[in-house]
Amino acid sequence: MSKQNIEACIRDSLQGYFRDLGGEQPHGMYDMLIQVMERPLLEVVMTEAAHNQSRAADWLGLNRNTLRKKLVEHNLLK
């Protein structure tokens, strides 16, 4: 999947979110989106990296300690 396909998926999901709101005002969208995007991102990257935190952190462009903190926040440590 290309970067453009990922962007299109996100765009479509956001447009659906606004349709589902039915005119109501959204609140806290940024934090909500980061939360719903971050967990599956971490799950997939950790699986692909064979749960090697150093490798996963490198792939994500994060410090290993930052990755570990995020894994703890999402209850993803084994």
Looking at residue 1, what is its pLDDT? 65
- The helix/strand/coil state of 20 is helix
Listed as ranges, residues in the chain with pLDDT below 50 are none
Inter-CA distances, 18 with 6, 27, 34, 35, Å? 19, 12, 17, 18
**pTM of the predicted model as reported, rounded to 2 decimal places:** 0.80
Looking at residue 4, what is its pLDDT? 82
The residue assigned the tokens 């996100």 is 10
Query: Of 8, 15, 65, 74, nearest to 40 (Cα)?
Result: 74
Q: Are 45 and 59 in contact (CB under 8 A)?
A: yes
